[in-house]
Amino acid sequence: MGNAPAQKREFVVKSRLLEPDDVRRALVRISHEIVERNKGTDDLVIVGIRTRGAPLADRIAASIADFEGADVPSGALDVTLYRDDVALRGPRNLEATTVPADLDGRNVVLVDDVLYTGRTIRAAFDAVLDLGRPRAIRLAVLVDRGHRELPIRADHVGKNLPTAATEVVKVHLQEIDGEDAVLIGEYRP
């Protein structure tokens, strides 16, 4: 317990799809779209899904503060306990959920790095609804790689990436990985 799995699979990078500047531009555009869609910053709350959605949410909030001059609260959501695959995958380390104040009547923008099957977003809906009753929930993702298993779509997308199911999309962020990048590759056993 607590240690890395015995045989760690090796991630082999096939190509780098987004460089630091691409990530920055995508996030700035998403930030503008969010404010435009919301017709201002009133009642807006940006909530990142842990792990990598959390720093993205903070960056979007900072970017909105930058060009709009308004403070938009941002927070982080750990959806582990709401996932539908807990019984299959086993328990994972939990991180803190830090959602600002009251979500009742607010417009919550969920932020995640990669949109794939949609199951994480489904879990996030349940987690948000247990914290309050927002007026609306919207979804912003840095990368949409397709292969949805649930009828979920993103309102704001940084980059649409058509992928094969065997491929793995990894988002690296300065705050966690030391660099901003989106990589595509495969796991070798």
Q: How far apart are CA 186 and CA 13, in angstroms?
A: 7
Convert 13-30 to b/e letters by CB count within 10 Å (16 or more is b).
eeeebbeeebbeebbbeb
Q: Of the listed pieces 2-10, 11-19, 69-77, 180-188, which binds other proteins according to CB under 8 A? A: 2-10
116 part of the interface to other proteins, by CB under 8 A: no
E strand map for the chain: 10-18, 44-49, 74-77, 107-115, 136-144, 156-160, 168-172, 181-188
Helix (H, G, I), strand (E, B) or coil at 110: strand
Rg of the chain taking only CA atoms, in angstroms: 17
6 part of the interface to other proteins, by CB under 8 A: yes
Q: Of the listed pieces 28-36, 90-98, 136-144, 179-187, which binds other proteins according to CB under 8 A? A: 90-98
Nearest CA to 15 out of 165, 188, 163, 183 is that of 183
36 part of the interface to other proteins, by CB under 8 A: no
Please count the residues of this chain forming the interface with other proteins, following the rule CB under 8 A. Answer: 26
Q: Of the listed pieces 28-36, 86-94, 134-142, 157-165, which binds other proteins according to CB under 8 A? A: 86-94
3 part of the interface to other proteins, by CB under 8 A: yes
The residue from 17, 28, 65, 131 that contacts other proteins (CB under 8 A) is 131
Contact positions vs other proteins (CB under 8 A): 1-7, 78, 81-82, 86-97, 126, 130-132
